[in-house]
A and B are shown apart, each in its own frame.
Chain A
Amino acid sequence: MDESPQGEVTLLLAAWRDGDPDALNKIMPLVYAELHRIARRTWSQQAQNNTLQPTALINEAYLKLANAESTSFKDRCHFFAVACSAMRQILVNHAKSRLTEKRGGARAHVSLDEVQPVHQEAAEIVALHEALEALQAVDPRKSRLVELRYFGGLSIEETAEVMGVSVRTVNRDWRLARSWLIRQMNRESS
């Protein structure tokens, strides 16, 4: 009943690699649905006190969707890249709707303490997303790196693997990209 959707993903990855711009749109709901399934199960197992790490979700979604054994290294890298993009879109869209809700007062019944940290992070994510789009124009590789590291939660080593560059390059690029983004966000907010 719960068969692996690997055939679908393999086709979509191929389409994405061939430059089909709609492939990400199609992969995203799959990633999203998988995240939900995993999150629901994780919660029922551990009840409370767990922080959800995007990378753990992506890893598990990957294992489920892409059947690691029969998938090539190249496809694995593609999957992570697409999943991280999907994660970015999902989180940014969610952050935006959170910020709209706040203005609209849709959650006025929730105490401010509860809402504040999430809203702060939501505002930060939206600002970062916009700064990242600006970085994309200056240095696409670094923009992609931040997507993998921050939105996808990949480690330095995993990022190097997916991007096909050395760990040293990732470290250097990450540091400069981070400085650039912080500066950009400061400029935008002042």
Chain B
Amino acid sequence: MSSAPSWEDIERLYHEVLELPVSEREALLTAVDPALREEVESLLEADSSEELLSSPPASIAADLLDAHPGGLTAGERVADYQVESLISIGGMGEVYLAHDTAGRPVALKILRRHLIVSVQAVDRFETEARAAAALRHPNIVTVYESGRSAAGLFIAMEWLDGSTFRAIMDAGDVTIAQAIDWGGQAARALAAAHDAGILHRDIKPENIMLVREGVVKILDFGLARHGAPASPEPISMGSSGTISGTLSGTLMYMPPEILRGETATRASDVFSLGVLLYELTAGRHPFAGETPLDVFEAIECRPVASAGSVRSGVPEQVDRLILRMLDREQSARPSANEVSDLLREI
């Protein structure tokens, strides 16, 4: 009686046969169990057939990149929006400048179909859309609409004409008065979100823009879920239409509890804002390091030199406030509301 041959037996015989001269193969095959023989013979037949798998799928790869050089082309429609130009290709998809039916410019963020590999990816995108749409605040980018279209999931939001904090800091010195004003606006936005029960989870200079008349706008609410770096996305839109923003940015603004793998809290957002406020005020990053590991170590245990010791003219209250925001103990950090109030008083 012959049972189903094992994969090990098939594998062994297959290679044994291939090592023999063609004239001797038949003899070996007739000597084995018929079921095993049939398995191996059908594999040998496939071995000699076809060109399949002989080269990588280059033409489909080229087609993919050709079909989505930036995805949508000018004039294409996504729901009620008409695409004008590609602004950035980022972590979760693409961002376009588009117009609504009234001709108003909007930023259109798209998660493309071929990037949707899991329920989690869709969840993350929709969570972001919902969280952001629930917030109405002068210092938070306004989300108009989100939904599904032929091109993929989309979020339509307020078009911002300005620069990211990253671009501004790269460009040169920020005055202490500006740092206090901008930091205060960002704190008010964060306080409003926290009051509504929404965390940002990824506060960094790439996610905050300064638009005309000195108004600060926070982008990308609710992106990351468990404090993991889920927003590797250079979504920031500069006035020149260029993009600034980095992936490595995220780590530099993470509080120690997130690095330890704990869940983000309101105090985590406050810490990240504290890093940003320090950077704006002192003109350098509190945890600068050569490698990600250096930064890791600095965030977890290096003592922070007060902003006032790095740059003269920093008001003492601001100096103390920033150090409290950067406290490694979450409970010792002030709330976003408190930060907002204190900065307003100065």
Contact = CB atoms under 8 A, between A and B. Distances in A.
A39 B244 CA distance: 20
Nearest to A104: B150
A7 B248 CA distance: 5
A86 to B, nearest CB: 9
Interface in A130-165: 138-139, 146, 149-153
Contacts of B121: 25
A90 B57 CA distance: 12
A8 B247 CA distance: 6
B117 A28 contact: yes
- Using C-beta atoms within 8 Å of the partner chain, give the interface range for chain A: 35 or more
A36 B70 contact: yes
B15 A52 contact: no
Interface string A20-57: 10101110111011011101100000000001111101
Given A54-B56, A117-B59, A91 B46 contact: no
A30 B247 contact: yes
B46 A11 contact: no
B90 interface: yes
Interface string B154-167: 00000000000001
Given A5-B246, A117-B59, A178 B117 contact: no
- Using C-beta atoms within 8 Å of the partner chain, give the interface range for chain B: 35 or more
Most chain A beta-carbon neighbours within 10 Å: one of B15, B42, B57, B68: B57
B117 A25 contact: yes
Contacts of B229: 8, 11-12, 26
A124 B52 contact: yes
B310 interface: no
A180 B47 CA distance: 8
B314 interface: no
A40 B69 contact: yes
Interface string B46-63: 110110110011111111
B89 A37 contact: yes
A176 B57 contact: no
Contacts of A53: 56, 58, 61
A72 to B, nearest CB: 12
Contact of B65 (A24, A36, A176): A36
B115 interface: yes
Contact of B62 (A25, A51, A186): A51
A104 B61 CA distance: 22
Contacts of A146: 53
Contact of B64 (A70, A94, A151): A94
A91 B115 contact: no
Contacts of B118: 22, 25
Given A7-B251, A118-B60, A125-B60, A33 B90 contact: yes
Contacts of A3: 246-249
B15 A29 contact: no
A117 B60 CA distance: 9
Contacts of B52: 124, 128, 178, 181-182, 185
Interface in B144-185: 167, 170
A81 interface: no
Contact of B69 (A33, A36, A149, A182): A36
B65 A35 contact: yes
Interface of A: 1-12, 15, 20, 22, 24-26, 28-30, 32-33, 35-37, 39-40, 51-55, 57, 70, 89-91, 93-95, 97-98, 117-118, 121-122, 124-125, 128, 138-139, 146, 149-153, 172, 175-176, 178-183, 185-186
Given A29-B115, A91-B61, 11 more contacts: A1-B242, A39-B65, A52-B62, A53-B56, A53-B61, A55-B56, A176-B14, A178-B52, A179-B43, A180-B46, A182-B47
18 contacts: A1-B167, A8-B248, A11-B251, A22-B120, A37-B89, A40-B69, A51-B58, A52-B62, A90-B114, A90-B115, A91-B64, A95-B60, A121-B60, A139-B7, A179-B14, A179-B43, A182-B47, A186-B46
